[in-house]
Structure 1
Amino acid sequence: MTLLEDTPAHVVSALGPLVSAEATAEAPGTAMEAGDLEQAVWVRLLERLDGNGPPPDAARWVKTAVRAEARRARRTAARELPYGDESSAEPDPACGPERAALRAERRRTLRAAVARTPGKCPRLLTAMLSPEDPTYREIAGALGISQGSLGPMRSRCLGCLRRMLAAEVAAPERGGKER
């Protein structure tokens, strides 16, 4: 879809149905309602019109923008925590500094193990752990492999990582005692 006029009103009327359809399709997988997702895309588009004019391939731009906003919403929802009941005097042990330190240590251990995996596994696993939440198509393009071989390669790499991490963790003795 190419836009013949650069006026924001023309762009809104030309892209309205596409933005609405894409937002409605992506909304169930996010923490946003379709209308909120659509509004975020319109803000992004109007910011672009202010400086650069309409995108050359508007349909592709809309799809990319909707998916990017949906990923942003998923990341935000995963990180946001509701306020607790402020009347309780005891702090929640699940949110304490000890838990945060343990989570950070687990992430460091995982990243170190990922770096020690063989072949293309470090690049693949790092891409899959990326906070940008890339699609299989984006990961395959970055690694220079076909999208169809990504699943089997992912399975092999995760199996290798699982074996490496299992070897690092001490197995408990009989009766539940640790060595």
Structure 2
Amino acid sequence: MNTSDLLLELRPLLRAEAAAEAPAGVEPADLEQDVWLRLLERIHAAGPPPAPADWLRRTVRGEARRLRRTTRAETSYEAEPAAAVEACPERLALRAEHHRTVRDAVRRLPGRCPELLAALLSRQDLTYREIAGELGISQGSLGPERSRCLGCLRRILAAEVAAPDRRGKVRRKQPADR
């Protein structure tokens, strides 16, 4: 029997065994994938097992035991680590400072831009129709007006808010070889 026939023959058995043996919190498909990997490693190293169905059952149970052990050893976090970093006082202070800078820049925009951006950023989550009615302009001119106002805001903020640092290492030019 060649390898592809063996894999086709074992697929339904593996699916059923994995569904029956998968520990709580582990997807049966993950267990299946682990067993497929073990089977392919076995075939590559020593050829197909002499009794494939028995080998498959033993391997599924062994992988399920391994997954239970690793699942028990894993620690769950009360909050995501990234969320904890976002809530640190330094980040909160920086975020508040950035919000103040943006609000100040919005107030200095020309024409109707301060009112338009205030309406767009409102916590009331107004629709374009409601914003156009509130500002007394047509709904069709709201998009171009918004684009113009955001362009002005970008230009104002470019000088006031520093661009974020590059990530990773920056290559520095080496002096020419002597």
TM-score between the two structures when normalised by the length of structure 2:
0.45
| TM-score normalised by structure 1 residue count | 0.45
